[in-house]
């Protein structure tokens, strides 16, 4: 058994360390969404207002809501990733009693 802890080890060993990683990543993801959602929305609005002509307007009217939805899904998955990682990490530490039938 190794008594010294390697400080360059990438494995998360304690729930406090995992919780801190979870909180920091979640905080960064929320801040990124807060600061990036408005400029990206403004860019999409300017693209849709710059489209002139009936074909371009109808195409932009159909395509931009789908692109905005995909961007919101990407942000939501970015927020769901740390929650999933934390839950998987917690249950990975669960012990296995290995109860099997003998015959």
Q: Could you tell me the pLDDT band of residue 1, with boundaries at 50, 70 and 90?
A: very low
15 contacts: CB under 8 Å, gap ≥ 6 = 90
Decide: 64 and 44 in contact? Cβ < 8 Å: yes
The pLDDT tens digits for 9-62 are: 566 778 788 888 888 988 988 898 889 888 888 888 787 777 666 777 777 778
Q: How confident is the model at residue 7 (pLDDT cuts 50, 70, 90)?
A: low
């Amino acid at each position: 058994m190794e008594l010294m802890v390697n400080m360059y080890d990438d494995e998360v060993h304690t729930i406090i360390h995992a919780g801190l990683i979870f909180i920091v990543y979640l905080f960064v993801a929320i801040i990124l969404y807060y600061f990036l959602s408005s400029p990206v929305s403004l860019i999409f609005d300017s693209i849709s207002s710059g489209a002139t002509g009936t074909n371009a307007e109808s195409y932009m009217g159909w395509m931009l809501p789908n692109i905005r939805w995909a961007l919101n899904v990407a942000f939501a998955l970015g927020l769901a990733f740390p929650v999933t990682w934390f839950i998987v990490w917690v249950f990975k530490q669960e012990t296995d009693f290995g109860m099997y039938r003998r015959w």
